[in-house]
Amino acid sequence: MVSVYKNIQASSLKGEKQLAILIDPDKFFIENTSAFISKVNASIITHIFVGGSIVEENETDSLVNEIKKHTKLPIVLFPGDITQITNKADAILFLSLISGQNPEYLIGKHIEAVSKLREMNLEVLPTGYILIESGKETAVEKVTKTKPLSRKNSQDIVDVAKAGELLGMKLIYLEAGSGAKEPLTEEIITSVKKELEIPLIVGGGIRSKIQLENAYKAGADLVVIGTAFEEDESFFDNLKR
Ligand code: 1GP
């Protein structure tokens, strides 16, 4: 497979928008994989992200294995924990939670992950992960014991994102949190995108085609949607190829 990163980067440079579906192994019935992934294959989705905040050991491995049987789309781990790392995926978002100041999530978990990654063939995508407040406490906040950045000060968000790029991260992920009431504003996305040379991922609270298009127009290169598909599979009908 062509490098997952090179693909994202090339699409970003050409202005071709990409869409990832986020599948949380904890909320997904593995028996439904074939039917569900056939809908993914018939849609404009370009990537399958797999991960969640709380997932039982080996659940991710079995699910990725099953998904792989039904699609050629790249499968990218979006792990909440190192137990979710599996060789069966194509790549892993190696997330550093740069919106917070908890060393465990800036570098600690990463050191623990090395013994696993060393043995594996996974493409590692260094990603600056930026949590932005959504009006309610998210799972990421609880698990990582960090506070999200305020929506009110977009310059702060821009500075954090730029610091991530200057540290050598290859992607920036702006996260409103899974199931956020409102997606990130276009103003926040646009101001971050203007300063970055690396591709921008945006996710959290996107539930309609219009919100998706707004995120793209504002500058998102790759959008991540999870809850909208979990709540209602008819969302696929809006996204047919
Ligand atoms: C969560 O950004 C992703 O980490 C997707 O969010 O579930 O709200 O689509 P939703």
Distance from residue 115's CA to the centre of ligand 1 (Å): 29
Distance from residue 151's CA to the centre of ligand 1 (Å): 17
pLDDT confidence of 135, banded at 50, 70, 90?
confident
Distance from residue 159's CA to the centre of ligand 1 (Å): 23
Q: What is the mean pLDDT of residues 65-83?
A: 96
Q: How would you label 37-66 residue by residue, b for 16+ Cβ within 10 Å and e otherwise? A: bebbeebebbbbbbbbbebeeebbbebbbb
Angle at 53 between CA 224 and CA 86, to 5 degrees: 80
pLDDT confidence of 136, banded at 50, 70, 90?
confident
Token pair in block for residue 181: 């009431």
The predicted pLDDT at position 53 comes to 83
Task: Confirm or reject: Cβ of 179 under 6 Å from ligand 1.
Answer: yes
98 residue type, one letter = I
| pLDDT digits 0-9 by tens, 222-239 | 999 999 999 999 999 999
| pLDDT digits 0-9 by tens, 144-155 | 999 999 999 999
Q: What is the mean pLDDT of residues 84-92?
A: 97
Kindly tell me if the per-residue pLDDT of 210 is higher than 90: yes
Distance from residue 177's CA to the centre of ligand 1 (Å): 6
Task: Confirm or reject: Cβ of 204 under 6 Å from ligand 1.
Answer: yes
Task: Confirm or reject: Cβ of 183 under 6 Å from ligand 1.
Answer: no
The predicted pLDDT at position 2 comes to 76
Task: Confirm or reject: Cβ of 3 under 6 Å from ligand 1.
Answer: no
**pTM of the full structure:** 0.97
Q: What is the mean pLDDT of residues 65-69?
A: 98
Q: Whose CA is nearest to atom 2 of ligand 1?
A: 203
| pLDDT digits 0-9 by tens, 167-197 | 999 999 999 999 999 999 999 999 999 999 9
pLDDT confidence of 1, banded at 50, 70, 90?
low
Task: Confirm or reject: Cβ of 138 under 6 Å from ligand 1.
Answer: no
The predicted pLDDT at position 104 comes to 97
Kindly tell me if the per-residue pLDDT of 121 is higher than 70: yes
Q: What is the mean pLDDT of residues 37-53?
A: 96
d(CA 162, CA 167): 9
**Chain mean position to CA 122:** 16
Percentage with pLDDT > 70 across the chain = 100
The predicted pLDDT at position 57 comes to 85
Nearest atom (ligand 1) to Cα of 78: 4
Q: Strand locations in the chain, DSSP E?
A: 18-23, 47-50, 75-77, 91-97, 123-131, 171-175, 200-203, 222-225
Q: What is the mean pLDDT of residues 107-122?
A: 96
The predicted pLDDT at position 96 comes to 97
